[in-house]
Amino acid sequence: MARIKPQALLIQSKKKKGPTRISTTTIVMCNLIIALVALSLIATYRYWSRRSLDQSGSELSNQEKIDVFGKKDDLPGYAILNTSKGPITVELFKEASPEVVDRFIDLCQKGRFKGMPFSHVIKHYIIKGGGSQELGAAEDWISKGKLRGQLVTSPKHEAFMLGTTKARPDNKGFELVITTAPIPDLNDKLIVFGRVIKGEEVVQEIEEVDTDEHYRPKSSVGITSVILKQEI
């Protein structure tokens, strides 16, 4: 048997231990995979960026609609009238009197009722805030209120209802009226847009204040602030 020379063995050993060469095809495939991953990441980033912009635009459009129409699904459904005698919680009739409720909420946010005095207090009838200090409509209401023979069953004729007078449609003359007894004859004078659900005793305490011959309170009593709430 022929012997392999040491030099030949050394050459064979170097050939076995040498690094394996990477083919050109493998290099090309790796580069393609890297490129595809990079393109995929870029496409994903662009997709989410575009989606985020679309959502922002959609929210802006919705806000613009709210600003234009003045409507919103989550309008406050309750108002707390803080008075010098205590708080009165009122449920607002958003569906039955939407326009008046919208105007009331807008005026509340502008601070229209802060410091509003109760200008007239008529026992077993109404307490009225804002408006003229003269007798005017109150005297007319009393003369009609004496004719209470026929009592109609309706939420508008119950006690502790919140309304505003029809005679003053403008914001500056927006008056608040709370009935203190069932009154069937105010339908043509009062727009009812809420009802007292808590604080009836406060209404009755205000009703008991001393008044002059024109039903004006002798001591100052009124609304100190109004808090709007979506839920109670």
Phi/psi at 215 (5° precision): 65, 25
Q: Which domain holds residue 96?
A: 78-229
Same-domain check for residues 50 and 145? no
* Average pLDDT, integer, range 22-40: 80
Rounded to whole angstroms, the Cα distance separating 87 from 79 reads: 10
Residue at a domain's end among 12, 36, 68: 68
Same-domain check for residues 83 and 59? no
Same-domain check for residues 94 and 51? no
Q: Which residue has the higher pLDDT, 133 or 152?
A: 133
Residues 195 and 159 sit within 8 Å (Cβ to Cβ): no
Residues 174 and 129 sit within 8 Å (Cβ to Cβ): no
Cβ of 78: how many Cβ atoms within 10 Å? 17
| Residues 6 or more apart in contact with residue 39 via CB below 8 angstroms | none
The DSSP secondary structure of 25-58, one letter per residue, reads HHHHHHHHHHHHHHHHHHHHHHHHHHHHHHHHHH
pLDDT exceeds 80 at position 108: yes
Q: With respect to residue 12, please indicate whether it lies within any of the assigned structural domains.
A: no
Q: With respect to residue 104, please indicate whether it lies within any of the assigned structural domains.
A: yes
Radius of gyration of the chain (CA): 39
Q: With respect to residue 15, please indicate whether it lies within any of the assigned structural domains.
A: no
The structure's pTM equals: 0.62
Q: With respect to residue 1, please indicate whether it lies within any of the assigned structural domains.
A: no
Instruction: Assign residue 142 the CATH number of its domain.
Output: 2.40.100.10
Same-domain check for residues 141 and 198? yes
Same-domain check for residues 62 and 167? no
Same-domain check for residues 53 and 92? no
Same-domain check for residues 178 and 85? yes
Report pLDDT digits (tens) over 75-107.
899 999 999 999 999 999 999 889 999 999 999
Q: With respect to residue 19, please indicate whether it lies within any of the assigned structural domains.
A: no
Residues 156 and 112 sit within 8 Å (Cβ to Cβ): no
Same-domain check for residues 215 and 175? yes
Report pLDDT digits (tens) over 153-211.
445 568 999 999 876 555 567 899 999 998 776 777 788 999 999 999 999 999 999 99
Same-domain check for residues 191 and 116? yes
**φ/ψ bin of 84: left (φ > 0), alpha (ψ from -120 to 50), beta (otherwise):** alpha
**Residue 5 has what pLDDT?**
55
Same-domain check for residues 119 and 49? no
Same-domain check for residues 104 and 47? no
Same-domain check for residues 100 and 151? yes
**Total tally of structural domains belonging to the chain:** 2
